[in-house]
Every structure is written in C-alpha cells, then in structure tokens.
Amino acid sequence: MRPIAWPLGVLGAAAAGLAYASLYEVRAFTLREATVPVLPAGSAPLRILHLSDAHMTPSQHRKQQWLRGLAELEPDLVVNTGDNLAHLDALPSVLRAYGDLLDLPGVFVFGSNDYFSPIGKNPALYLVGGTGPSSGRGDEWWRTRKRDLPFEPMRRAFTQRGWTDLTNTHASLDVAGRRLAFVGVDDPHLGYDELDQEPADTSADLAIGVAHAPYLRVLDRWNSLGYPLIMAGHTHGGQLCVPFYGALVTNCDLDRKRAKGLHTHHVEGHEPSWLHVSAGLGTSPYAPVRFACRPEATLLTLTSSPPPQ
C-alpha cells in the first residue's frame, strides 16, 4: 500500500491548493501601500489610488462592495490602467463599484478586456511566452473579432464624471494644488499603442506615463523622454506565483521580478524612472484562481525626492 500514498498525497495537496486559490485568495482583496520619492523638493505628499484589471462580471458583488469602500481613502488622484470588463453586461456594475471615486480627479486607459469579451485559451500558452498579438505567436484573433464590450459607453461615463481619457494622448491636470502632466497609450498588448517623441513636460510638478501593459518598448520610450513615474497593470502579478520565487510569467516582455509592485526602469544614459505595476483585482472568468498573489489596489504616496548627495 505504501507506493500509493505518495501520489495520493500529491493529489491531495494539489486539490487543497486549487481550493485555496479559487475559493479564498481570488476574493481576498488587499490594499497595498507604497511611497514614491518623486515630487520636487519641498512638495507636500500626493496620494494616488492605482486601480487595474478589475475584470468585472455582474455577479461579483464582493469585489464591487470592496471597490466602493476605497472612496473612503479620499485619494488626490485615481489612475485606472484598464481591463475593467469581463462580461457584456458588466458596465453598470463597474460604475457602481467605482462609485464616488469617479467624482475625484482621475485618468484612464483601456486594456484588451475593455474591447473584447474573454474567450477560453490554452493556459499552457502563458508559460511559453504569453498570448495575444504582441506575444510573437501569430495570434491575430483581435483583427477579425468584433469589439463587443461596451467600451465607448464606459469611456463616456468616465469622462462625464470627470476622469481624463489618456488613449494615445497627452493631458495635464491640476491635482491638490499641483500641475501633473500625463502621457498615455492604448493597449500595447494589442499593438494599439502610438508612441511619440514629445518630451515630458518639465514645467509640471510631475510627469506620469500611463499604460495598460508594461511592454519594454513603452517603458524605454517614456524613460528616455524623461517621465519620472510610469504606471501599468496587465500582468496580474503573475496570478499564479510560487512562494519565495515569485511570478512564473508576466504575459508580456517585462521580466518576472517586476511583475508587480514598485521598481525602477531605465535605458542607458538616462536617469531611472519609477515603475509601478499593479497586480490587479481580477482574473479572466475562464481562470478564476490566484495563488500567492492576492488581488489588489494600491495607494501610492508621492513624496519629495531626496536631495542630491
């Protein structure tokens, strides 16, 4: 009987891990906090709430309630890096979930799951280079599929409440007495990004780059153009991580060690930019699991840069 015990133990551990990932952790919403020393010397702190990858369906009431509660944080600015939707009828749920946050200063870009409803995919593809047209796998489903999610009504709803659309454009906002300059792109994972050569606005108190997917071509361009802070989502933090090892994949060309959280990015000859990648709040309905990577929103406190040594 002993030879049977080992495989049964492995199967039992796998079943327990799957139950934990699909029944508990995927709903264990967490508020992360980080401090970014990026403002001019002498500036008062500025608080940014970073939301990403909600992947909302109408039935996700716990997620919607948790998101509504974030308005109590009273951030100075909301940055939404896309993939809000995961169902044809999810827009009313998204708007209710964001609630009073939509009345605060905010900026947004879209991800692929704001345009296209989720479809089932072979999960093994994520382990060998990811999926989507930017994966180099010849996956061009997006060229022939109809954009069936209500992204235009969502765009109108966001902008009517006061959030600024950064789709392939520049903008500036006055936030808590500071002028912030922004550049944004449409989803790089779909190849929709339109990058220009316009340098960061150095007359602003801070210039921020906003994208859904943190592809290196975008990060390199914005670092070379002088953007001190870049914000993105898309990776889900790896979604399935190994304790003490981290993410297995990022579903883009960003390295695994920067799959989530606050890091830096630079190209040769340029000062580093701060890079914040949100692990996001949701998953595809076809893969509703998370392991060692809780769903999250992040409250970034921007502070003065330390003086030169």
- 196-207 pLDDT tens trace: 999 999 999 999
Domain 2-304: CATH architecture, name and number where available: 4-Layer Sandwich (3.60)
Interacting residues of 157 by C-beta distance below 8 A, sequence separation 6+: 91, 95, 102
**Helix H or strand E segment including 220:** helix 216-224
In the DSSP assignment, the letter for residue 228 is: S
What tokens were used for 86?
A: 């995961």
For position 97, what pLDDT does the model report? 98
pLDDT above 80 (res 17): no
Q: State how far the Cα of 270 lies from the Cα of 283, in Å rounded to an integer.
A: 35
Contact 282, 64 (CB under 8 A): no
pLDDT per position as a tens digit, 150-182: 999 999 999 999 999 999 999 999 999 999 999
Contact 150, 91 (CB under 8 A): yes
The structural domains of the chain, with segments of one domain joined by +, span 2-304
Are the beta carbons of 63 and 126 closer than 8 angstroms? no
The whole-angstrom separation of Cα 200 and Cα 151 is 28
- pLDDT-based confidence at residue 139 (cuts at 50, 70, 90): low
Amino acid in the structure at residue 155:
R
Give the chain's radius of gyration (CA, Å).
20
Confidence of residue 138 (pLDDT cuts 50, 70, 90): very low
Of the pLDDT bands very low, low, confident and very high (cuts 50, 70, 90), residue 185 is very high
